Structure 1
């Protein structure tokens, strides 16, 4: 239903970051074995795992940073990768694949999203939401002065401007970037792309799959799940489901049930098509 409708996607946008990193490695002397130095100023909030537990000056490979970004949706890892590859490369990769790239310009770091939504400056947030891509980009210096407020984040239980400030993707756009990542992972030197995508299957999808690639996303009022699935007989499929509400939280259990029903329907289609 509505495969072309663009919705707030939460962390599903990180697929574009992964693709931009992969193409940079392919086209330059960079490597997934290169080391990234941890910058704790990119940490919006404390977290019990991932890069947020590392000290300033620690190092981690690009490959493992990408795996953290995708498998546990590590926001700090994401922002390190956006800065490592360059925002302009992420925007170029996204713009090539996305049918309406202006929706996602400028391509926000996660800490910038937190600064806008829980940074305490509602007037700036409103101005940003009402601006076009050029106007939003001109405001980034103002945005990056803000400090995400842990007290506000802890009570973030209602949607905040999810229809105007977010990373937007349709189910078809999510499927398109997944297919492109399949292309990239097959290139020599880019195997870490596939490793990152397959560490976390999202849900228990049962038997019948040779491989499961997955990325999900969420924030209050936003849920998104996208899979790239290889069946046991070697055929490939993508499945993407998303839901938004500007008024209230999404029923997560119901959403997960709908997603699993979607997988069951796909399995039935595969069985009937053999």
Structure 2
């Protein structure tokens, strides 16, 4: 279950950070030769470096249109996240002049190299009118080194990277059999069961059902009219690409908890009771609220069958209106006992099941949101992704086919029941993993 929409979520799980305004650099202009004594864009390169370092000089660098579109406080938040994700800036340089007032930039961070575009006004003092970061590539490192950096994060970490085809090979293993809270990654099990039922002829992607029960964001369908008619394909697409909780809870209702328990076993989860019964997102969040303490404590201490009985009895009391988004997002809450749980090995088994069995429609749904910079995802022939996050929990999982034809599954998890997580740092490390797999 993803937490209510944050800046990171709004940017697509923190893909490439983008800063753009009305004035946009001339991306499609061919390189030209300019008089070297008149290149106003060069006068602002040092300022861009200072801004990326955190200097508060936005009002002296950007024009009014830029500042209206990206206020200084917001810009500083973006640059702070970039430093957290990619390390400190080492160098900013012009890679290619597009005009006297526009250029492609090369920005070297400790862990990554970014590409960018800049426009400046022709008239002095040549305020910056447009600045855009277009993508990141990882610098150096290895899978082993990256795994060590993940292991050094505070809390509990897990990672499994396997080559699936040919002579299957484990490339990296870190606490691969340990139990983790996986947040919205559990939605992969729903996708797998839906795919299975469509392939068997039990259902069709075009089947129409009523939307509901409603849940809280993330997602968009919570704002649609109650009982809106929607196809199973639409629900699955929203559930995976937008981590839509209302779409997810609708599919749980339509499919049923028994069928979902079956797919958990069929896809190789070695402790199915960890994720049985499969909670609706509304139920999970409501159980964490103080008014449901008695139900929560009973749920925490019961076996799978008793938990299922409790949910049937208490479902009508676990109301959407009871959920306090601030309480959900301010600090980790009951992440060790309420939610959905699996090991990296369990999720790799699930991804491999999808690789071997899923329909083209399911694989296409899984590839809509890559979870990382699309430029890095595009280094592979195919990249499917599902992740999840809530306070104290991050999970990022990839099904990859490299351009050389190798199939990989990557499952990574980070839990910390005491403190919020540096999500940008985790995304950066997993982006590096995907980038390194492209070079094998």
Q: Bigger relative contact order, structure 1 or 2, given CA contacts below 8 A and separation 6+? A: 1
Deviations 1:20-66 (A, max 9, x none): 11111222341011112223xx1123x58532122124212111110
Specify the alignment match of 1:10 in structure 2.
Answer: 183
RMSD: 1.8
Matched, 1:81 2:251: yes
Matched, 1:160 2:333: yes
Q: What is the rounded CA distance, in whole Å, between the counterparts of 1:136 and 1:184 in structure 2?
A: 31
Specify the alignment match of 2:264 in structure 1.
Answer: 94
Q: What is the rounded CA distance, in whole Å, between the counterparts of 2:370 and 2:289 in structure 1?
A: 30
SS in 2 for 1:52: helix
Count of residues in Structure 1 that have an aligned counterpart in Structure 2: 262
- Contact kept in structure 1, 2:286 and 2:322, CA below 8 Å: no
Q: What is the rounded CA distance, in whole Å, between the counterparts of 1:248 and 1:192 in structure 2?
A: 39
Change (3 A) 1:238 1:116: same
- Unaligned 5+ runs, structure 2: 1-173
Matched, 1:37 2:207: no
Specify the alignment match of 1:267 in structure 2.
Answer: 438
Matched, 1:72 2:242: yes
My pick for the range that moved more, 191-200 or 47-56, is 47-56
Q: What is the rounded CA distance, in whole Å, between the counterparts of 1:143 and 1:244 in structure 2?
A: 27
Specify the alignment match of 2:428 in structure 1.
Answer: 257
- Contact kept in structure 2, 1:118 and 1:153, CA below 8 Å: no
Q: What is the rounded CA distance, in whole Å, between the counterparts of 2:324 and 2:222 in structure 1?
A: 19
Change (3 A) 1:31 1:151: closer
Specify the alignment match of 2:362 in structure 1.
Answer: 193
Specify the alignment match of 2:301 in structure 1.
Answer: 130
Per the normalisation by structure 1, the TM-score is: 0.89
- Unaligned 5+ runs, structure 1: none
Q: What is the rounded CA distance, in whole Å, between the counterparts of 1:75 and 1:207 in structure 2?
A: 28
My pick for the range that moved more, 252-261 or 220-229, is 252-261
SS in 1 for 2:230: strand
Per the normalisation by structure 2, the TM-score is: 0.57
Specify the alignment match of 2:371 in structure 1.
Answer: 202
Greater per-residue helix proportion: 1
SS in 2 for 1:36: strand
Matched, 1:148 2:320: yes
Q: What is the rounded CA distance, in whole Å, between the counterparts of 2:409 and 2:316 in structure 1?
A: 36
How much does 1:67 deviate? 0.7
SS in 1 for 2:317: coil
